[in-house]
Amino acid sequence: MLWSKLTLIAGISVVRSASTSRLYLQNEGQQVLGEVVRTESESIEFNCDLPPILDPSNDGLPSADKLFSGKDALMKQVERHGTLVRVPSISYDDNGEPGEDPRWDVFFELHATLAALYPSVHARMSRETVNTFGLLYTIKGQDASLKPFMLTAHQDVVPVADASTWKYPPFSGHFDGRWLWGRGASDDKNSLTALMSALEALLLNPLWVPKRTIIVALGFDEECSGQRGAGTIGKYLEEIYGKDSMSIILDEGGMGLDLLEGDTLYALPAVMEKGHVDIWLDLSVNGGHSSTPFPHTGIGIMSEIVVKIESNPYEPKLIKGSPIYNHLVCQARYSPESAPQITKLINKGDLEALAEELVTIDRATQYRLQTSQAVDYFNGGVKINAMPEKIRIGINHRIAPQNSIPEIKSKILDEIKPIVKKYGLTVQAFQGEEQNPEFDAEEFKPAYEVDYNGTLVLTSSQRTLVAPISPTSGQVWDIFSGTIQHSFAFPDGKVVPVGELMTGNTDTRHYLSLSPNVYRWTPTRKGGNQNPHTVDEAMDMHAHIEALKFYYNLIRNFDVSSA
């Protein structure tokens, strides 16, 4: 029940969204869900009513159960998925540009593998390459008035630290009868295989021509921010189709499916993402022989900064109307006994006490409620008998909607101020950058000459604003929700789709201008995959088949709709 005791959002100042009844706060370009007084038209309480179940069977095509049930269908997916997993399509943080860094060349092999596995897709959909390795598949619909339907996944996987620690070799694609093992088996070749397989099943039928244009966008560097892949694909699509041109964008992510009390299955797509900024601090100080050291070396000074920052975490906050709040409303309605204390606090409306309760559950829940800060990089020193002259630390932030990039920068500056004064350091803070806080540079000038002669330079990277919240009502959501309810229906049970928040970022950060209806959801049950990004990553292939059935149904339902 960890996922069921959900997460986040918050506020700072006032703009009305034309497409929804939400109020937003503007903070240096970031839209933040605001805790403000609502008008009468905005006072409707969220109570988790569900749209109708949507069965695509009226289109006359074979059902998902008929096509994808049984041992033969399972083994076909094992073959496809294992073949893709065996291609080591790794993206590294220090990759150079495509065409310059030969480590990208393995993606040529992946592209050839996709063409061999999915002949109907490659025969009937146009395939374009964007920035060499980004893939864009398109099949034109019969009705040009309908906005395209956009599906996305990414081709790349994270590196393997030590292959000898794996149960099976990380690029073996080994299948043990249930689990398919390998790097990328879950993240994100599971989505890639299932999406392409659903389209292959549809396009294998020569009589099926979609009414709506279908676009499949496959980035190749999502694991290192997506700038080269989805970043260029997004700009390319905007040039062709324009802003707000897609009916829906579905990518990986979310919190999958979680069964509570044995009879309620919660589907938890992410309808927003936290923001992101990395703060880098580079200290230059006088060195010297370690036999006559300063009272503190540069590493000692930077260690004080790290301790100060880690000792002052951000505060968790829960706001009415946020995705996590709405998730909890659904849980209190349909599974009240799964977490009685949470149900009690939701019904009472005590959000402060509820936030305090939620952060005790686990770190995943805590950080859906608050901005995270992690000192992940610390580098300094070149020799054991020489005081270090250059020291660098990096702090990764995933920004909750109640906070902003300028606020992150300002908090860092406030916290280092006494340490800067203590050691007489000169500070150069975020020079030439956007989204900066106001600060008094005079406060950071050393009062006198000191032996340290230190300069501390602050910069930021990977600046990503908190994503806007995608709608959880209206025609597009109703099709999405209705398809989920149909695809995962079970006897005497209820399927409840409700939006959630994602603590990480996906390639959708580069597609936000293309549609307000952006959903991040890998349709996998809790326990259906294991160990993404670490040793012994694996995918339950029965869960993979469920995902395939869902994608097949969703494409069909959207194709016959007018959304």
Residues belonging to the active site: 156, 222
143 is in an annotated binding site: no
Return the closest-CA partner of residue 219 out of 207, 210, 228: 228
Rounded distance between C-alpha atoms, residue 320 and residue 352, angstroms: 11
With H, G, I as helix, E, B as strand and everything else as coil, classify residue 181: strand
Return the closest-CA partner of residue 49 out of 473, 475, 338: 473
Question: In 10 A of CB 213, how many CB atoms?
Answer: 22
Question: Using the 8-state DSSP alphabet, how is residue 436 labeled?
Answer: P
Question: Using the 8-state DSSP alphabet, how is residue 218 labeled?
Answer: E
Q: How many CA atoms lie within 13 A of 387 on its CB side?
A: 20
Rounded distance between C-alpha atoms, residue 294 and residue 378, angstroms: 20
Tell me the residue ranges of DSSP E strands in 381-469. 386-387, 390-399, 426-429, 455-464
CA-to-CA dists, residue 218 to 145, 212, 330, 431, 532, angstroms = 25, 19, 33, 35, 19
- Which residue carries 């309760």 as its tokens? 357
Question: Using the 8-state DSSP alphabet, how is residue 245 labeled?
Answer: -
Contact 250, 153 (CB under 8 A): no
Return the closest-CA partner of residue 182 out of 535, 526, 548, 546: 535
With H, G, I as helix, E, B as strand and everything else as coil, classify residue 21: coil
Rounded distance between C-alpha atoms, residue 425 and residue 447, angstroms: 9
- Cα angle 265, 268, 270 (rounded to 5 degrees) comes to 175
- Which residue carries 């997004």 as its tokens? 234
- Euclidean distance between the first and the last CA atom of the chain, given in angstroms as a whole number: 34
Provide the token pair at 259: 């069964």
Rounded distance between C-alpha atoms, residue 195 and residue 190, angstroms: 9
109 is in an annotated binding site: no
Q: How many CA atoms lie within 13 A of 231 on its CB side?
A: 10
Contact 237, 231 (CB under 8 A): no
Cis peptide bond upstream of 478, omega within 30: no
Rounded distance between C-alpha atoms, residue 50 and residue 486, angstroms: 12
CA of residue 73 relative to chain centroid, distance: 30
187 is in an annotated binding site: yes
Question: In 10 A of CB 267, how many CB atoms?
Answer: 25
Question: Which residues, including other chains, have CB under 8 Å from residue 247's CB and lie 6 or more apart?
Answer: 146, 147, 148, 149, 150, 212, 476, 515, 517, 558, 563
Please name every residue paired with 289 in a beta bridge, in sequence order, or none if there are none: 386
Rounded distance between C-alpha atoms, residue 453 and residue 408, angstroms: 27
Task: Show binding-site residues.
Answer: 154, 187, 223, 251, 533
- As annotated, the binding site for Zn(2+) includes 154, 187, 223, 251, 533
